[in-house]
A and B are shown apart, each in its own frame.
Chain A
Amino acid sequence: MTAIPLTHILVLSTLLFFIGVFGFLTRRNLIAMLMGLELMLNSVNINFIAFNKYLYPEQIEGLGFTIFIVAIAAAEAAVAIAIIINLFRTTHHIDAEQADSLKY
Chain B
Amino acid sequence: MTDFLHLLHHELLLSLVIVCMLILKLADRGRSGSSWSNLLNVLLLINFAGGLLIEAEGSLFDGMFRSNALLHFEKNVLSLGLLLVGLLATPYLRNHKHSAEFHILIASTLLGMFFMLSAGHMLLFYVGLELATIPLAALAAFNLNRGESSEAGAKLILSSAFSSAFLLLGISFVYGTCGSLQFEQIALTVSGNPLQLLAFTLVFTGFAFKLSIVPFHFWTADVYQGAPIPVAAYLSVISKAAVTLVFISVLYSVFGALQATWTPYLLITALLTIITGNLFAMRQDNIKRFLAFSSIAQVGFILTGILGANVDSEGIVLYFLLIYLFSNLAAFGVAGLISAATGKESILDYRGLHASNPRLAWTLTIALFSLAGVPPTAGFFGKLFLLTSGASLGNYLFIGIAALNMVVSMYYYLRIVKAMFMETTAQPIGKIPTGVAPAIALALCIAGILVSGLSGSFYEHIHLLTLSY
| 8 A Cβ contacts from A31-83 to B | 33-34, 37, 40-41, 43-44, 47-48, 51-52, 55-56, 59, 61-62, 64-65, 68-69, 72, 75-76, 79-80, 82-83
Q: Which of the listed residues B146, B150, B181 has the most CB atoms from chain A within 10 Å of its own CB?
A: B150
Q: Does B183 contact A (CB under 8 A)?
A: no
Interface pair B151/A68, CB less than 8 Å apart: no
| 8 A Cβ contacts from B147-161 to A | 147-148, 150-155, 157-158, 161
Residues of B whose CB lies within 8 Å of any CB of A are 122-123, 126-127, 130, 134-135, 137-138, 141, 144-148, 150-155, 157-158, 161-162, 164-165, 168-169, 171-173, 175-176, 179-181, 221-222, 225-226
Residue of B nearest to A37 (CB): B161
**Within the assembled complex, what's the spacing in Å between the Cα atoms of A37 and B179?**
26
Total residues of chain A contacting the partner, CB 8 A: 40
Residue of A nearest to B182 (CB): A61
Given contact pairs A90-B146, A103-B222, A80 touches B172 in the complex (Cβ within 8 A):
no
**Within the assembled complex, what's the spacing in Å between the Cα atoms of A51 and B148?**
43
Interface pair A44/B168, CB less than 8 Å apart: yes
Residue of A nearest to B140 (CB): A83
Q: Does A12 contact B (CB under 8 A)?
A: no
Question: A84 to nearest B CB, angstroms?
Answer: 6
**Within the assembled complex, what's the spacing in Å between the Cα atoms of A87 and B157?**
13
Interface pair A65/B123, CB less than 8 Å apart: yes
14 A–B pairs (Cβ distance < 8 Å), ordered by A: A20-B165, A40-B169, A41-B165, A44-B169, A62-B175, A65-B181, A76-B164, A79-B134, A80-B154, A83-B138, A87-B141, A87-B150, A90-B147, A99-B154
Question: B100 to nearest A CB, angstroms?
Answer: 18
**Chain B binding surface SS class:** helix
Q: Which of the listed residues A33, A68, A80 has the most CB atoms from chain B within 10 Å of its own CB?
A: A80
Residues of A within 8 A of B145 (CB): 90
Q: Which of the listed residues B135, B147, B173, B222 has the most CB atoms from chain A within 10 Å of its own CB?
A: B147
Interface pair A90/B175, CB less than 8 Å apart: no
Question: B125 to nearest A CB, angstroms?
Answer: 11
Interface pair B134/A75, CB less than 8 Å apart: yes
Residues of A within 8 A of B171 (CB): 65
Q: Does A1 contact B (CB under 8 A)?
A: no
Interface pair A79/B157, CB less than 8 Å apart: yes
Given contact pairs A65-B122, A90-B145, A80 touches B169 in the complex (Cβ within 8 A):
no
Question: B140 to nearest A CB, angstroms?
Answer: 8
Interface pair A99/B169, CB less than 8 Å apart: no
Interface pair B226/A102, CB less than 8 Å apart: yes
Q: Does A86 contact B (CB under 8 A)?
A: yes
Interface pair B180/A83, CB less than 8 Å apart: no
Interface pair B148/A48, CB less than 8 Å apart: no
Q: Which of B130, B150, B155, B161 contacts A86 (CB 8 A)?
A: B150
Residues of A within 8 A of B137 (CB): 79-80, 83
Question: A103 to nearest B CB, angstroms?
Answer: 7
A61-B180, A87-B147 are known contacts; what are 19 more A-B pairs with Cβ within 8 Å?
A30-B154, A30-B158, A40-B162, A41-B164, A44-B165, A44-B169, A55-B176, A61-B123, A61-B181, A62-B172, A68-B126, A69-B126, A72-B126, A76-B164, A79-B157, A91-B151, A101-B151, A102-B148, A102-B222
Residues of A within 8 A of B168 (CB): 41, 44, 69
Interface pair A80/B151, CB less than 8 Å apart: no
